[in-house]
Structure 1
Amino acid sequence: MSEQQRVSTFLYGTAQSLIAHDDFTILPQEHHEGQGVAPVLLARRQFNSLVYIRLLPADGLSVEQIRVIMKNDAENFGDRQRSQNVYSLTMFIFSQWRSDENMREIARATHYLGYLKSIGAAAVAIDLSRGVLGEWPTGPAVKGITVQPIRELVANYPNGNYPDELLWRTKHQWEDQLVELSNRRQERVESVMNMGGKTWATYGLLALTVLIFLIARMDSSQLFLSKGLMVPELIREGELFRLLTPVFFHYEVSHIFFNMWSLWVLGKYAERIYGAGRYLVVYVLAGIAGCLLSFAFNDNPSLGASGAIFGLMGALLAFGRHDRKAFSMTIGSSVYYMLAINLVMSFTIPRIDYWGHLGGLAGGFLIGMMVGVPGYRSKPNRLWGLGFVAYAILTYVIGLQA
């Protein structure tokens, strides 16, 4: 058993840990005859950023050579990082003894060159002979990386005995296994997102809302439209149906167009994740939650699907709590972007009922947490359900006292 075999096994074991714990994917590797232990390259796209990790055997490299490598990384990633949020982390791995001063110098190289702030090219040193992981960097290049499994792999290396099956595994065998593991992780994410699933409930909500809009447009007396408004005084008189009907009524073409476009985009995601039944529960109860908060704090009549649509955003945020990794790897950045844009519009455009939007967002999150995502929770989470009931009672009582 050679030291080279042990180092190679450590590199691929670390890559396996990063794939399993942090959803990295192994990239195609370059092979050169007689190269010795080759670097291992990984990548992960999360939200709107792309992170590369390079596991680099570094025996024989001086601190100055390491600085040159870091500088080259900075030049390669600089322009891309500014426009695409591309970051890199290089793990310099030494199988021979390195002094503590050299380890600290490698850590200082990143800070000294300012890459953490301006570029996002970070580095960490690993001394396998002593089982020491150097100072772990900070910044976007290492955000979301689970350090403890790496620390344990490093600490166990000096006295660890790898099985022969691992030691004699070839580069191609390792890479085939890690590609398969990467694919399984990706397939799990895709199965949660259910991108090929039908979205009949969303189509149904769209059709129903458009039909009601057309009927209201044909009624010149606007009597039909008036029956769907959220009117606080009439709700206090007992017309509780007005806590739901406003979700399906709209004033103008631009009003319904924007809401239905949002429903088309967000609804398909939410329905595929939650399933049609839970999705409809989220939509209806989030719409009611929006009307309740508007009833409590808004004295003016209101209508529109915006509260329910904000509820879909809340439910997708709840999905992020159920599966943070799948959320960040897929729709996370889009949901945050749409939420930010809609919140800004809610508070800056006149005549928009922002209370209804905020209520729908809160209600959608509570209901999304309560019903759970299929495959994660088979039973409703009653605590979140009680939270929604408490919210509904509180806002209704406040509205009655207004």
Structure 2
Amino acid sequence: MVTGQNEFLWERFSVSKETVLALGQYYRLITAMFFHGSIMHLAANSIYLFYFGSRAELLLGKVRYVILYLISGICGGLCSVFLGHYASIGASGAIFGLLGAMLILTREKGSRYTGMNYATMILLAFTALAMGFLDVGVDNWAHLGGFLSGALVFFLMFRAKE
């Protein structure tokens, strides 16, 4: 973004049906998570990542946290590829996975870890998902895929840890 190479980034690292399925460039399911379309996109993801990511990492440890993050991001990318209609980039699928994980944690353990009660977490999750539909160019499939996979993976990890 800073160098004015946006087109280069989109062409090389975004996920889409054409690049992942037709060209077999599966690496894009990872690379797309580390590029953003604007400073605001990066800032919004960073805020959510700091809040929910720090809590998930403390609870799961570094290795399980990274696994949760990557699986959520990849699943978000796969939903985008199979159900979406345009190329996308960003960490939103992985971040929504963390949000889904923290929703499960709050349901299981209460507000002790997240600082929010379950009703507030549901409202936050619903609002975050719904906000994507109010803006053009938001990859809602990646958000939904990341959210659901993050909740499921965290549930399985949390159960295995206990």
Confirm or deny a common fold (TM above 0.5): yes
Alignment match, 2:47: 261
Bigger Cα Rg: 1
Could you tell me whether the CA contact under 8 Å between 2:111 and 2:117 is conserved in 1?
A: no
Query: Equivalent residues in 2 for 1:53-202 (5 A)?
Result: none
| Cα distance in 1 between the residues matched to 2:132 and 2:150 | 17
| Cα distance in 1 between the residues matched to 2:5 and 2:36 | 15
Alignment match, 2:20: 235
Higher RCO, 1 vs 2 (CA within 8 Å, ≥6 residues apart): 2
Alignment match, 2:93: 307
Alignment match, 1:346: 132
Runs of 4+ in 1 over 6 A off after TM superposition: none
Shift of 1:219: 5.4
| Cα distance in 2 between the residues matched to 1:265 and 1:325 | 14
Q: Give the match's secondary structure for 1:217.
A: coil
State the Cα deviation string for residues 198-237 of structure 1 (Å, max 9, x = none): xxxxxxxxxxxxxxxxxx5325373244211012111112
Q: Give the match's secondary structure for 2:37.
A: coil
| Cα distance in 1 between the residues matched to 2:39 and 2:71 | 25
1:378 lines up with 2:161 in the alignment: yes
Q: Give the match's secondary structure for 2:90.
A: coil
Which 5+ residue runs of structure 1 have no aligned equivalent?
1-215, 380-402
TM-score, structure 2 length as denominator? Answer: 0.86
Find 1:295's aligned residue among 78, 81, 88: 81
Evaluate the alpha carbon distance shift between residue 220 and residue 292 of structure 1 in structure 2; reply closer, same or farther with a 3 A threshold.
Answer: closer
**What is the total number of aligned residue pairs between the two structures?**
160
Find 2:57's aligned residue among 247, 251, 271: 271
Which 5+ residue runs of structure 2 have no aligned equivalent?
none
Q: Give the match's secondary structure for 1:331.
A: coil
If each structure's helix is expressed as a fraction of its own residues, which one has the higher value? 2
| Cα distance in 2 between the residues matched to 1:371 and 1:221 | 37
* Identity level (%): 30
Alignment match, 1:18: none
Could you tell me whether the CA contact under 8 Å between 2:9 and 2:35 is conserved in 1?
A: no
Q: Give the match's secondary structure for 1:352.
A: coil
| Cα distance in 1 between the residues matched to 2:149 and 2:103 | 12
| Cα distance in 2 between the residues matched to 1:335 and 1:292 | 25
| Cα distance in 2 between the residues matched to 1:319 and 1:259 | 20
| Cα distance in 1 between the residues matched to 2:10 and 2:138 | 18
